[in-house]
Chains A and B, each alone.
Chain A
Amino acid sequence: MKRILINLFLMVVAFIIQNCIFPLLPFLSASPNLLLIFTFSLGFIHGKEAGMLYGFFAGLLTDLFGGGPFGFYSLLYVYIGYVNGSFTQYYYEDYITLPLILSIGNELAYNLYIYVFRFLIRKRLDVLYYLKNIIVPEIIFTVVTTLLLYRLFLFISRKLEEMEQRRDSNFV
């Protein structure tokens, strides 16, 4: 329980950094999607149900920011949490290749979802332009950030587990 609350708190922090700090940095031509990294990492480490929970929370935060119908992002993030959670059987602590591949897949799915449901349905057909100018830069930034953040998540979740174990053994 405590672990879930700490993770949810970290997600709010990530959301605020993403919306308030990144836009201030003029040298960032694209910005990494921290909430997406959070959802997929936690799903991958802790499994489907955790992935859906954190995904739903991340989606709610994004939906609450405004713009578009409510629930649009929640739906997407729930599925991202679920799909990445189902890879948890291949989860192995020091294995970074699969998380990176997942990260690329997630970014691609996330951006295509926005493109199809918010742009393509309004007859914006120039897929290549959007791919080159928006999707690819964001994928690159997010993958680089994943390299750094994924290790941090592993560290945090290991610490939290240790804390819980220590507390349990105190009771015994």
Chain B
Amino acid sequence: METKRSKYILAGLTLLCVLLIGISSLQDGFMDPLRAGVGYLLVPIQSGVNAVGSGIYEDLTDMAALREAQIENEELKTRVSELTEENNRLQAEQQELQRLRELYELDQDYMQYETIGARVIAKDSGDWFQIFRINKGSQDGVQVDSNVIAGGGLVGIVTDVGANYATVRSIIDDLSRVSAMGIRTGDKCIVAGDLTLYNEGRLRITNITTDGDIQDGDQIITSNISSKFLPGILVGYAADITIDPERLTKSGYLIPAAEFDDLQEVLVIVGTKDTGDSELGALEGSGS
């Protein structure tokens, strides 16, 4: 009797789950109200636990770090005076550059984005996916497809947003595709995450045309034709570019500019790219 009933329950739950999978893969955002509701309850707890956890961990490492810090402090003091001097000189040069730019009426489109800081409060368990959650959401102006940067480089893109949290898929995730270009020549390429390269700290660069000029060490930035990523954000540096066997394209590796090992704080760029044409950059995106 008991086994029969549990079989019915199993069949019922299976049907329910399969239905949910079907509906949510056909229609994005179907479960968002539920996700947002649970987010209201869970996110404050996650933030708290995270703050306490990192607090304790920092206390433990503080003592060990103190001695090192004292030595470092001495070194840094001399460095500061050096840098102050250098800075003065650079400021003068910057002013000169500013004047010359105005003369040439150059646009300063790139990297003039408004950002807000956010804290990483949770990560996906297991090593399959590189997804994390931050403690800023739609209340703070974060939207789906908002770009996320840290340490001067692109980190990822917001895939799901609630009132007080947002889920970010980082560019090292296996599903991630970023339309990018070499800063020197503007040749287009695709930067793809790959789990098999994750341990080496690399990503894959593909779809460079054979006559495209991207060389080892070139800076790779997000492309102006990307549908989701704002143009001109540094992604990383090209390495080991070779011609593919079929001789139609070139591919290689990318060493990311952002550090992913120890991500604690990130910057979210407020506002998303508005291309008005979702067909553009069809190669990139979620892949889901």
Contact = CB atoms under 8 A, between A and B. Distances in A.
Contacts of A72: 21
B13 A67 contact: no
A70 interface: yes
Interface stretch (B38-46, B65-73, B230-238, B245-253): B38-46
B21 A70 contact: yes
Interface string B42-53: 100110011001
Contacts of B21: 69-72, 75
Contacts of A74: 13, 16-17, 20
A137 B34 CA distance: 33
Contacts, number: 148
Contacts of B126: 31, 33, 111, 114, 134, 138
Among the interface residues A59, A67, A111, A119, which one has the most CB atoms of the partner chain B within 10 A?
A67
A81 to B, nearest CB: 9
Contacts of A118: 128-129
Interface stretch (A14-22, A97-105, A156-164): A14-22
A71 B19 contact: yes
Interface of B: 2-3, 5-6, 9-10, 13-14, 16-21, 23-25, 30-31, 34-35, 38-39, 42, 45-46, 49-50, 53-54, 57, 121-129, 131-133, 159-160, 167, 169, 174, 195-196, 199, 261-262, 287-288
17 contacts: A16-B46, A18-B125, A20-B50, A22-B123, A23-B122, A35-B125, A48-B10, A52-B13, A65-B124, A69-B24, A70-B30, A71-B19, A71-B24, A72-B21, A78-B17, A82-B10, A118-B129
